Amino acid sequence: MKKKSFFYKFILFNVFILILSSIGVIIYVKTAPKLQINNANNLILYDSNNDVFFEGSQSKEWTSLENISKDLINCTIYTEDKNFYKHYGFDIFRILKASYVNITNHSAKQGASTITQQYAKNLFLSFDKTWKRKWDEAWYTIRIESNYSKDEILEGYLNTINYGHGQYGIGNASKYYFNKEPKDLSLAEASILTGIPKSPSNYSPLINYELAKKRQLTVLTALKDNNIITEEELDKAYQEELVFTKAEDQERINSLMYYQDAVLDELDSLSNIPSSYTDINELKIYTNLDIEMQKNLENTVKNTLPEDSSIQTSVVMMNPNTGGIIALIGGKNYLESSYNRATKSKRQVGSTMKPYLYYAALENGFTSSSTFTSEKTTFNTSSKDSYSPKNYNDVYGNKPISMATAIAYSENIYAVKTHLFLGSDALINVARRVGITSKLEDIPSLPLGTNEISILEMAAGYSAFANEGYKVKPHFIEKVVDSKGTILYQNKEEKEPVLNSSLTFILNNMLTATYDPDYIDYNYPTAISLAPKLTHKYALKSGTTNSDNWDIGFNKDIVCAVWVGYDDNQALKTTEYKYAQNIWYESVEYYEKDKKDIDSWYTMPKNVTVVLVDPISGNPVDETAEKKKFMYFIKGTEPTNAFQTFDEINTDNYAS
């Protein structure tokens, strides 16, 4: 009896505490300041001219519930939360059912969030999956339900939910997809739109029509199962031909969405920005976006890559002096694939890895005239394995060539010889100093770019060459300000000196050899076709693998990195290797169109001298020589006719 008595008292005590707590919560909620849900968590993105290019989480034109199609309202309620008008923010029975299904299937197959919970999450919270976030979501749900009517909550939800492609709110979405007012949407149109918010990148009919139609059928079936529509009405709506707004009317959003996504990802990573915006209401995010350059970049990609091919691209244009990213492309067409290859993908970089090696060589006593013999070579490594790389098209000079010539032809033999001569630490050390964080394997093929690196890392790494020796951090956001004008975040320009400015000057000039006719000999410079097209001077390096094509080039003003390839790593066709180069040169030339070349190239340092040499051999010549070129050297390292080929100095690491 005593045990039963204790048990009953324990139950009564806990019920009493629960009732008391509930009363306390209700009193607090009723007396606390009312949440301002109509303007909470509004994000406004500005370009570098302080012009708005995106406004999310709040429609510019708030649409009242009476001006929204009844079909859209029904589709939303019976798909997302059929007991919306009956519960107080939480659907207990739905939670229990979802828990049972998830436990039974050992996975999170069913969710139980109500419309109010989703609204609370959209308005006030970040999307991290923590217990604190769940608790905050529940607390805001209670506050919203206590302060607003069901119609006000539903209206707010429909005006703030993400319908994909940067369209927040049903007013924006209905105009974007169908060029209609929300009240004029048909059942077919309403059901296709209702299916999008569950996963905008998957269920947008402009990205995956087949998947969007499957989701539409789920929405229509929910209406039928709840006796809102008949089987005949379901079939009619599902079979109705949907006419979407023409693609040219969506062009502006399409050209900005990759950049916008990258900005919002960076915003989530900033520790200065609170996860709950209830006291902020609005965030103004000032970015480095050059809207004119972004649009030109989008058009260049569109005009370069064939529309009927699954080939993809990513492009980063960066200010090398600040690390600010002024334009970005994450794929050929955002409407077809929202995956941002510029920020999320890593690919083999090919010969674009070589400038890090050649800077290391200059740092270790090499010069523009330092020579190795261009010939078929088998390298015997310390592990007693052999390695036999080949030059492109199996072309060799069978004679000593200068470092500048090796850069012009992108010689693999010269690169591997240099790498083994210096030791692998030299290349890796330079790459780490300029900001390459990806894994770099200690293997003979490292300078040939067999490791995978992101395009953002490569653009940042080349920025250290472009700005004459400083490591910069790539970033999109310059400043974040709340609705009261308080600066929540200000980017601090951090330039860490990591390279020697005189050596970067010498390297940058050697990188112009890739399109210089003076280097035509037994081979052609890799970008010789650009020689008559370029109106400004740039340092440029290309990189190719079987499935990747890169071009990265720069001057003092801009770094432009371009990658082209297939997501599934299928081999590129010979004709497809021209795409990256075309995108690169058209983009940088457009950026430099109004600038003088003298302002964008580099001034020769005082400790650097210029010598007339044969560009292929690197040997000094006079004005009477048939082949001659001025090349740069640190004073005291100028070449002589007795200059020795490095093959003759150290042959321990490899054998021909």
572 vs 228: CA distance, rounded Å: 53
Residue 247 has pLDDT above 80, yes or no: no
**For residue 407, what pLDDT band results from cuts at 50, 70 and 90?**
very high
CATH superfamily of 62-245: Biosynthetic peptidoglycan transglycosylase-like (1.10.3810.10)
More confident residue, 506 or 208: 506
Contacting residues for 215 by C-beta, under 8 A, at least 6 apart: 195, 196, 198, 203
**For residue 278, what pLDDT band results from cuts at 50, 70 and 90?**
very low
More confident residue, 16 or 602: 602
Classify the C-alpha dihedral 114-117-118-119 as positive or negative: positive
Mean pLDDT over 213-221 rounds to 96
Least confident of 94-98, 460-464, 504-508, 536-540: 94-98
Structure tokens at 274: 């609170």
Residue 374 has pLDDT above 50, yes or no: yes
Average pLDDT taken over every residue of the chain? 86
80: Cα within 13 Å, side-chain hemisphere = 27
Mean pLDDT over 183-196 rounds to 96
Residue 509 has pLDDT above 90, yes or no: yes
Partnered with residue 561 across adjacent β-strands are: 316, 552
383 vs 653: CA distance, rounded Å: 11
Residue 388 has pLDDT above 80, yes or no: yes
Structure tokens at 341: 């290859």
Give ∠ CA 639-519-525 in degrees, rounded to 5. 130
Is residue 630 classed exposed, middle or buried when 0-12, 13-18 and 19+ CB atoms within 10 A define those classes? exposed
**For residue 36, what pLDDT band results from cuts at 50, 70 and 90?**
low
Residue 634 has pLDDT above 90, yes or no: yes
Portion of the chain with pLDDT greater than 70, in percent: 81
Contacting residues for 594 by C-beta, under 8 A, at least 6 apart: none
Residue 501 has pLDDT above 70, yes or no: yes
Catalytic, out of 57, 80, 338, 402: 80
| Buried-exposed string 484-502: b where 16+ CB fall within 10 A, e elsewhere | eeeebbebeeebeeebbeb
pLDDT at 246: 59
What's the whole-model pTM score? 0.81
Mean pLDDT over 21-49 rounds to 64
Mean pLDDT over 555-573 rounds to 97
pLDDT at 116: 80
Residue 350 has pLDDT above 50, yes or no: yes
Question: In this structure, what are the phi and psi dihedrals at residue 401, rounded to the nearest 5 degrees?
Answer: -130, 155
Domain boundaries, the chain: 1-31, 62-245, 299-491+498-648
pLDDT at 451: 94
190 vs 284: CA distance, rounded Å: 32
pLDDT at 22: 47
pLDDT at 430: 97
**CB of 480 within 8 A of CB of 285?**
yes
For 420-460, give the DSSP string: HHH-HHHHHHHHHHHT--S----STTGGGT-SEEEHHHHHH
More confident residue, 619 or 18: 619
Mean pLDDT over 151-164 rounds to 89
More confident residue, 18 or 529: 529
Mean pLDDT over 523-550 rounds to 96
Q: Confirm whether 369 is a catalytic residue.
A: no
More confident residue, 109 or 156: 156
Mean pLDDT over 460-474 rounds to 97
More confident residue, 400 or 56: 400
Mean pLDDT over 306-327 rounds to 96
pLDDT at 225: 95
Same fold, 62-245 and 299-491+498-648: no
pLDDT at 349: 97
Catalytic, out of 204, 255, 338, 351: 351
CATH superfamily of 299-491+498-648: DD-peptidase/beta-lactamase superfamily (3.40.710.10)
**For residue 283, what pLDDT band results from cuts at 50, 70 and 90?**
confident
Question: Which region, left, alpha or beta, applies to residue 430 given φ > 0 means left and ψ of -120 to 50 means alpha?
Answer: alpha
Residue 259 has pLDDT above 50, yes or no: yes
pLDDT at 654: 43
Structure tokens at 87: 């519960």
Question: Which region, left, alpha or beta, applies to residue 190 given φ > 0 means left and ψ of -120 to 50 means alpha?
Answer: alpha
**For residue 27, what pLDDT band results from cuts at 50, 70 and 90?**
low
Q: Confirm whether 623 is a catalytic residue.
A: no
Residue 544 has pLDDT above 50, yes or no: yes
**Helices (DSSP H) in 169-208: which residue ranges?**
170-178, 187-194, 200-203
